[in-house]
Structure 1
Amino acid sequence: MLRPIRTLAAAAAALALVSACNSASSNGTGPDKGGASSGQFYRGVTDDSIKVGGIVSMTSSSGYSKKDTDLGARARYQRANAEGGVNGRKIDYIGAEDDGQDPAKNLAAARKLVQQDKVFAISPMSSVTFSGADFLQQEKVPTFGWGTLPSFCGPTYIYGFNGCLVPSPGGTINQTWPEGIATVLGGAKGKSVAVIANDSDAGKFGIRTFRQGFAAAGFEVAYAKAAVPATAVPSDWSAYVKDILSSNGGGAPDAVVSVMQTPNNIGLFTALKRAGYKGVISDPTDYDPGLLAKDATRQALDGVHVLLQFEPFESKSPAMERFKADIKAAAGGKDVPLNMHMLTGYMSADLFLAIAQKAGRDLSVAHFQNAAGSFSDTGTLVGDRSLPKGQKDSFGCGALVQLRNGTYEVSVPFKCHRPIPFQ
């Protein structure tokens, strides 16, 4: 899983401290001022609305986009408003700022949403960088997103829609991926795995996490390197492929797991197949029918098992049917290809709404946090949810889907696994 560049995060925190005197929390409409019962409202809260914004990597230098995260959030908020809102208030979702996967833009987007737009919460936050985390924590802004960054693990105002996925020592590791690969292979005993990631703080942390997880599941970890440049997609993958295919005592591992985004995965998987690799290939990002429009992309991803931390779209559960209907409604009644970014936005919004509903009519950050401190529910698209557990541990559930002849099929059904301690 991905982790932000710590030095940039530190710089962001310093900038936030310098500018704190100009922040929303010091102007009489901040989270510690007023209250609905006294006739004064908190930042972003009026008598009939709650203002919410988002931060999403709509664009990036590699062409990778999470723009449909915004559609997913709109879909969930639209249904909430159609059902009467939250304790009598409609959600005023002002849309998502594009951070371009740029740490400086991520912080700028957070500052704009809080200081200019005066939102009560940010949901969704979906990017590979989260340099605005320290600022949002300082300003006491409830923030929701995919818990693939360390900032979703520990800070009191920041929540992962499926819990914390990159824990610190003392936390736990989600075993969905190792156990899923073991299922595909008919067991982990005597089987080997290669794990590859980008050469970045995020990649190194991912290697550390999944080395432990696959070893705990019974695999021999034959290769585990954060070796691929993080700033550009390699044009020549031969060196990486050579190392991987000789990592298992001079032979190929039984599975290759990539902790990278789509552009890197396409290059690596294409090179592996051309080299004759016949083992299991897996990644956590490429569950997106939109990727299948190009022949080269479809061929590169054919046969790949993709990790999901939510129910597959192929599920027939009432919750999934409702999700599909909500997305269609938000898309103007059109049937649009579903992808995991939509689900990220949708479930980020869903968790925010559930806690806000529990907080009651007298909405404030303090009341919201009190509600979150004892929140739990069951049967959602990400399994059973519980806080504050989810700020230290993942909810532990997931599935694998495999692309076969242009169609995704469930290869390992949605299931919850017991996590292991992170060391």
Structure 2
Amino acid sequence: MSRTVRILAAAAAALALVSACNSAARESRPGSPGSGAGLTRGVSDTSVKVGGIVSMTSAGGYSKKDTDLGARARYLRANAEGGIQGRMIDYIGAEDDGQDPGKNLAAARKLVQQDKVFAVAPMSSVTFSGADFLEQEKVPTFGWGTLPSFCGPQYIYGFNGCLVPSPGGTINQTWPEGIAKVLGGAQGKTVAIVANDSDAGKFGIRTFQQGFAAAGFKVAYAKASVPAAAVPSDWSAYVKEILGGDGGQAPDAVVSVMQTPNNIGLFTALKRAGYRGLLSDPTDYDPGLLTKDAARQALDGVYVLLQFEPFETSSPQMDRFKADIKAASGGQDVPLSMHMLTGYMSADLFVSIAQKAGRDLTLTHFQNAAQSFSDTGTLVGDRAEPKGQKDSFGCGALVRLKDGKYEVAVPFACHEPVPFT
């Protein structure tokens, strides 16, 4: 062997030894003080970094900013209890995507590439264009599973499961079963379902149309026809179609799969047209709405779908939620909103899985923990993964706004889901 070859071989052996030693130095045994540090994005010896994406603002004035407060409240309690296996949660707050697809993707990129977060919790918006990027970068992401991106991907989780499943999944029956109870049964009853002209709206029509039919309703009208970009100034054409959808007969119930500004416009127009049937939507459980005369009048009598325990109920879980929100608000009593709870429960599912992953918090260990995760008695019922990435957790309630106050119309309960085809 020539001198040059011997030198190169010795250098290669030395480099391999150094690399092995460095690797051994970085690899920490599970449970050791340095476990996870330096190996996983967003994880150090003492902290785990988490961010959020929330529609704080929107072109139509709709805001989900309370989602951020809900997440902060849960993380504050987790840190007060010792963090995640001794690591404090460094919640850097939520990026505002303005309900804009481009901004949603930009927010996801910023959180991963600049802020280097371990997880995104909460993600709360009507758009989730950053989903593919977060999945590709293996970022555990938690939010309200009302978009298809929460159903199927490996790293994305709905805090109450998958609500817009792919064929082969299941549909949550809380809404149709709840309305059936209010109406005294579904047989012989008709329902009209209306949504925005968007991908999410069209998917919502498809799922709820199947769900209401499975519960025994006749679906007399189901269209995603309302413009998504701006609230219509004239609802007369929509009202005419809805009230005449069943051979000229008004339906027994009108279900809106839209946000508050659209619901106010549609319900006001229906009432002015003389409609006296049941009105329902999944978004207008917000005491802040009661301070506005137009909103209070438009939503009076409306049944709102909840997929968590109503604030009006009393349970240890609800009492703890309220106490956590008060603590995060500096000791102030603030009006509770469903957005607070979506942020809180998104954070809660992340914290619960991360705790199970143990001190050695890596992406692999986190995902392994998620694959066998389950718990019971939460504000959204019993939870289990990976079931929740295909099916909803199947629980919910209906509340009704009456005389300026919300009241529980159908108590929180779990229903057997139906197959989605």
Normalised by the length of structure 1, the TM-score is 0.91
Alpha-carbon contact 2:400-2:406 (below 8 Å) kept: yes
Q: In the TM superposition, what is the alpha-carbon distance from 1:230 to its structure 2 partner?
A: 1.0
Q: In the TM superposition, what is the alpha-carbon distance from 1:34 to its structure 2 partner?
A: 5.8
Alpha-carbon contact 2:120-2:142 (below 8 Å) kept: yes
Alpha-carbon contact 2:146-2:162 (below 8 Å) kept: yes
The residue that corresponds to 2:207 in the other structure is 209
The residue that corresponds to 1:368 in the other structure is 366
Distance change in 2, residues 1:413/1:38 (3 Å): closer
DSSP-derived class of the 1:213 partner: helix
Q: Which of 297, 304, 307 matches 1:309? A: 307
| Distance in 1 (alpha carbons) for counterparts of 2:246 and 2:408 | 28
The residue that corresponds to 2:88 in the other structure is 90
Task: Please say if 1:379 is aligned against 2:377.
Answer: yes
Alpha-carbon contact 1:34-1:42 (below 8 Å) kept: no
**Paired letter, 1:149:** L
DSSP-derived class of the 1:111 partner: helix
Summarize the alignment of residues 5-404 of structure 1 with structure 2, pairs less than 5 Å apart.
36-37=34-35, 40-404=38-402
For structure 1, the residue ranges without an aligned partner over 5 or more in a row are 1-32
The residue that corresponds to 1:25 in the other structure is none
Q: In the TM superposition, what is the alpha-carbon distance from 1:39 to its structure 2 partner?
A: 5.8
**Paired letter, 1:395:** F
| Distance in 2 (alpha carbons) for counterparts of 1:251 and 1:54 | 46
DSSP-derived class of the 1:215 partner: helix
**Paired letter, 1:376:** S
The residue that corresponds to 2:420 in the other structure is 422
Distance change in 2, residues 1:137/1:38 (3 Å): closer
**Paired letter, 1:172:** T
| Distance in 2 (alpha carbons) for counterparts of 1:256 and 1:69 | 28
Summarize the alignment of residues 403-414 of structure 1 with structure 2, pairs less than 5 Å apart.
403-414=401-412
Q: In the TM superposition, what is the alpha-carbon distance from 1:38 to its structure 2 partner?
A: 7.5
| Distance in 2 (alpha carbons) for counterparts of 1:422 and 1:171 | 5
**Paired letter, 1:299:** Q
Tell me which moved more, 224-233 or 261-270: 224-233
| Distance in 1 (alpha carbons) for counterparts of 2:220 and 2:37 | 63
For structure 2, the residue ranges without an aligned partner over 5 or more in a row are 1-25, 29-33
**Paired letter, 2:42:** G
Q: Percent identity?
A: 83
DSSP-derived class of the 1:131 partner: coil
**RMSD in angstroms over aligned alpha carbons?**
1.0
Q: In the TM superposition, what is the alpha-carbon distance from 1:86 to its structure 2 partner?
A: 1.0
**Paired letter, 1:213:** G
Q: In the TM superposition, what is the alpha-carbon distance from 1:292 to its structure 2 partner?
A: 1.1
Normalised by the length of structure 2, the TM-score is 0.92
Q: In the TM superposition, what is the alpha-carbon distance from 1:89 to its structure 2 partner?
A: 0.6
| Distance in 2 (alpha carbons) for counterparts of 1:108 and 1:57 | 13
DSSP-derived class of the 1:212 partner: helix
| Distance in 2 (alpha carbons) for counterparts of 1:117 and 1:202 | 29
Alpha-carbon contact 2:36-2:43 (below 8 Å) kept: no
| Distance in 2 (alpha carbons) for counterparts of 1:339 and 1:324 | 11
DSSP-derived class of the 2:107 partner: helix
Distance change in 2, residues 1:180/1:152 (3 Å): same
Q: May I ask how many residue pairs the two structures share in their alignment?
A: 391
The residue that corresponds to 2:13 in the other structure is none
| Distance in 2 (alpha carbons) for counterparts of 1:356 and 1:181 | 37
